[in-house]
Amino acid sequence: MPIEQLETIDDERLADYRHVLDPELLRRGEIFVAEGRLVVRTLLTQSRYRARSILLTGAALGGLADVIKPRLADTPVFVVPASAMEGLTGFNIHRGCLAIGERPERLNVREMLARLSRATRLVALERIGNADNIGGIFRNAAAFGADAVVIGPGCCDPLYRKAIRVSVGTALRVPFCYADDWLADLRALRSSGFTLAALTPSAEQDLEAGVSSLTPAARVVVLAGSEGDGLSAGTLAQADVALRISMAPSTDSLNVATAVGIALHRLFTATS
């Protein structure tokens, strides 16, 4: 199909883009928004998600022509003036490029385990509501070889546009699933051979010692909790081991995305 040149975003075919600022409406419509050239490129070339359409300026089209042109047969592409893009997200962070992606089927933990039977490194998150932290965790998961992320109760949607943007598109590449029954799903992970390693500053055992005690073939779930309270008491009770990251005495905790990154890096280097 041809690239459509439009003067405004009032065209009915662009209705999805007029809901960019309403994440709940997007979720109910089973779609998500990818914003920025790098993220849209990832959506088109490295993700398992289908792009429903692409909206961009002429300049952005020039920068993405190599990945857009091969998809013109089945993906509508709309080009609008830069002025028409203003106000869609509130900030000019999209660099003149947005895409609507179709949400995947919702996987639970057992379904994910069946699909990723050889997984050895997982991240499981409880009550992490900040999109920046969710995005950062997915970026770290991609960098250090985590096989998937388990989204537990109270977590931000990993396909919220800011989470995708902060993840630099890795939220579109790293598999994830949802824990419909958090504590029961943690027990299911243990039954599948995973060691549940909880990150908490109150732990007696240091991360280095904990990782050193694992065999190279060990299957590990890194558990991380909310930015304020950390992991709940119920989750800590389920953990096989609680680990802390050593830091200067004047600092009581780390940003949760940073903590997950350090833990995954240590696991990654221990088994590489």
Q: Looking at per-residue confidence, does 241 or 253 come out higher?
A: 241
Q: Are 235 and 184 within 8 A, CB to CB?
A: no
Reported as a pLDDT band with limits 50, 70 and 90, residue 9 is: confident
Residue ranges covered by each domain of the chain: 4-102, 109-271
Residue range 109-271, CATH number: 3.40.1280.10
pLDDT of the residue at 20: 84
pLDDT at residue 8 is higher than 90: no
When the pLDDT of each residue in the chain is averaged and rounded to a whole number, the result is 93
pLDDT of the residue at 94: 67
pLDDT of the residue at 112: 97
* Distance, CA of 268 to CA of 201 (rounded, Å): 21
- Mean pLDDT along residues 37-48: 95
Q: pTM, whole model, 2 decimals?
A: 0.94
pLDDT of the residue at 88: 72
Q: Looking at per-residue confidence, does 167 or 202 come out higher?
A: 167
Reported as a pLDDT band with limits 50, 70 and 90, residue 177 is: very high
pLDDT of the residue at 251: 85
- Mean pLDDT along residues 89-95: 65
CATH homologous superfamily of 4-102 equals: Ribosomal protein L30/S12 (3.30.1330.30)
Q: Looking at per-residue confidence, does 229 or 216 come out higher?
A: 229
Beta carbons within 8 Å of 122's beta carbon, 6+ residues apart: 146, 147, 148, 149, 150, 189, 194, 220, 221, 222
Reported as a pLDDT band with limits 50, 70 and 90, residue 90 is: low
pLDDT of the residue at 91: 58
pLDDT of the residue at 117: 95
* Distance, CA of 99 to CA of 6 (rounded, Å): 16
Whose structure tokens read 């050239």? 37
pLDDT at residue 244 is higher than 70: yes
- pLDDT digits 0-9 by tens, 218-229: 999 999 999 889
Reported as a pLDDT band with limits 50, 70 and 90, residue 92 is: low
pLDDT of the residue at 199: 97
Reported as a pLDDT band with limits 50, 70 and 90, residue 173 is: very high
Query: Which three-class secondary structure state does DSSP give residue 212?
Result: helix
- Mean pLDDT along residues 135-150: 98
* Sign of the dihedral through C-alpha 7, 12, 16, 18: positive
3-state helix, strand, coil in the chain (%, to 5): 40, 20, 40
